[in-house]
Amino acid sequence: MLTKRIIPCLDIKNGRTVKGTNFINLRDAGDPIELGSLYAQQGADELVFLDISATIEERKTFSSLVKEIARHINIPFTVGGGISSVKDVAPLLDAGADKVSINSAAIQNPDLIDDLAKEFGSQFIVLAIDARKKINEWTVHTHGGTRPSDKKLFSWAKEGQQRGAGEILFTSMDNDGTKSGFAIDPLSKLNQLLTIPVIASGGAGCKEDFLEVFAIGKADAALAASVFHFSEIPIPELKNYLSLHNIPIR
């Protein structure tokens, strides 16, 4: 079994790390450079940087902040927010990103996934999917979770894989920030449906939630924000806990 990854997420707005519940009621969570550096020192496997207001504000990701964070870390670094074309990616890779995450632009133009995979390779492309459950379907949302689309979670994830995405980052909007645990059922189904890695996001509240998402949800990686930002779960303690429960951890 491949080792599982623990990934802190920096949601960035106006140059600061923020965190909300169900994608709203954002509160300040600290300086992204200091947090990124801390997580790298604590043994995080990767770091994700999402400029959450870039698409809504119709601008590009702050590459200067990406560059500054990259200077302070020595772990793989995924960057997303406002990426809408092939030409948007090179400046981020030059600034120190190892992978890029695309979301809204890929829904508006699915060929973007093909184009990016062809230009940079699938290993550089993370397809982020923000979805909310309505009746018995998971509807994909765009623009920082503010707009429902006509895409459904499972068919869109499968199409993303076919077009060349190297990973799927699935965030349950219903679970996000609630600390009630990850959305296990859709994660398990994604694992059965796809051959590329799935990153679980949304709902981490305790160490047991991480154990469940790996053991039952079969996620390849678990992403979390507030439990790390506010020092509720130290990463070394979490990794030791998972290792004691026979979860292969780096």
**Active site amino acids:** 11, 130
**Alpha-carbon span 246 to 248, nearest angstrom:** 6
**Alpha-carbon span 159 to 146, nearest angstrom:** 22
φ, ψ (nearest 5 deg) of residue 102: -120, 150
Give me the amino acid identity at 18: V
**Alpha-carbon span 180 to 169, nearest angstrom:** 19
Contacts of 24 (CB under 8 A, 6+ apart): none
φ, ψ (nearest 5 deg) of residue 201: -145, 140
φ, ψ (nearest 5 deg) of residue 103: -145, -90
R_g (Cα) of the chain, nearest Å: 16
